Amino acid sequence: MKNVCGRVAAFWRSQPLFRRLYIGGILFIGAFAFLGETGEHIVSDILLNGSGQMLSHVQNIILWTTFTLIVAAAECFVLISFLKRVIGHFTSVIYRLAAGERSARIAPEMTGRQDELGLLARAFNIMAEQREQEIAREKELLAAVSHELRSPLTRLSVSVELLRRQQVPPEFLDRLSLETERMEALIGSILEYSRMEARVQPFGYLDMAALVREVADDVRFEGSVRGCEVKDDLPDSLVLFGNGEMLRHAVENVLRNALRYTPDDGKIVVSMRAVDGVCRVTVEDNGPGVPESALKQIFRPFFRVDASRQRASGGTGMGLSISESAVRAHHGRIWAENRAEGGLSVIMELPLAPNKETV
């Protein structure tokens, strides 16, 4: 008997919420008639006490209506209590989020349900989690921007003061020009990162292989000045659904980062493959690599493994974070690995375009 009851209970829990409401409504109406009729007969027997008399038609209607309303009230109370508890829990979590408690989530007993309410609860938690991450990134970006702008602004102020006193050594003019260029590059990177995060660019079908080939040609020309070799291993064509400008920035920043840390006469290899429904772009260099503890952090805005080396190379610390934001906007992922033979490998995976063939 326990096995039968357990199977019935499991079957009931596996049904969608609206199907259960439909079945419950049928049982609800049936209970009206059955319990109302049964209650009428029981009470009439008690009132007449076996005297053989019959209740009038009006009395029968009154008894049936009374017991039907009692049953309806009990069933409505159970249903309303359940809905009140569910809605109350959702409302409480929403108010906690609105009050600034970003960790507020729908309880596990609600997200574990296998019906529409469970689906709604899980979707709500995913939304809250993404919003919490966005706020954390915004705060981190604001703190990093404040820190990054403070030093060049201080040096610019000192340079301006020296100009006012007409004591202008050439090295200070050079420093003023350098700091101005760095400020322009930093502001440009911040604006680009903001556009990536806003995700307002239109999407369409594009040839990712052709896009990467163009970027590789540009970086190859720049690297030739230092004797750096840029090799590519790309298919003739590979179609994605995305925004060409965002993806160009993603690939370009990864390649330029590799070029920045590749020694003179070094080598960079960019390759592309279609693997398990995704386009995998890999950029490998033979530079110094990155400490294992920093492999995930290099995609954060303004993170620097070596701050002095990054500034000396002219970087703003935003390149890889822009790449990460662009890849994330395309529902892809990006990560870095140290190569066994030395250097760094950065891998980007992007979903292939649906209903399109690759050549």
For residue 188, give the H/E element and its range: helix 170-198
Q: How many helices and strands, by DSSP H and E, does the chain display?
A: 10, 7
Active site annotation includes 331: no
- The residue annotated as part of the active site, out of 41, 57, 147, 330, is 147
Q: H helices of 99-115, where?
A: 108-111
**C-alpha 170, offset from chain centre:** 50
Give which of 280, 282, 256 is closest to 332, Cα–Cα.
Answer: 280
Between strands 229-233 and 267-275, the pairing is parallel
Q: Identify the burial level of 175 via C-beta atoms within 10 angstroms of its C-beta, where 0-12 means exposed, 13-18 middle and 19 or more buried.
A: middle
CA–CA separation, 314 and 297 (whole Å) = 19
CB atoms within 10 A of CB 130: 10
Q: What are the distances in angstroms from CA 317 to CA 125, 126, 185? A: 32, 29, 10
CA–CA separation, 302 and 324 (whole Å) = 13
CA–CA separation, 4 and 8 (whole Å) = 6
Strand partners, 267: 229
Between strands 344-351 and 278-285, the pairing is antiparallel
Which one-letter amino acid corresponds to residue 300?
R
The two structure tokens encoding residue 239: 């179609």
Which one-letter amino acid corresponds to residue 2?
K
CA–CA separation, 100 and 251 (whole Å) = 37
Q: Going by C-beta distance under 8 Å and a sequence separation of 6 or more, which residues neighbour residue 126?
A: none
Catalytic residues, by residue number, are 147
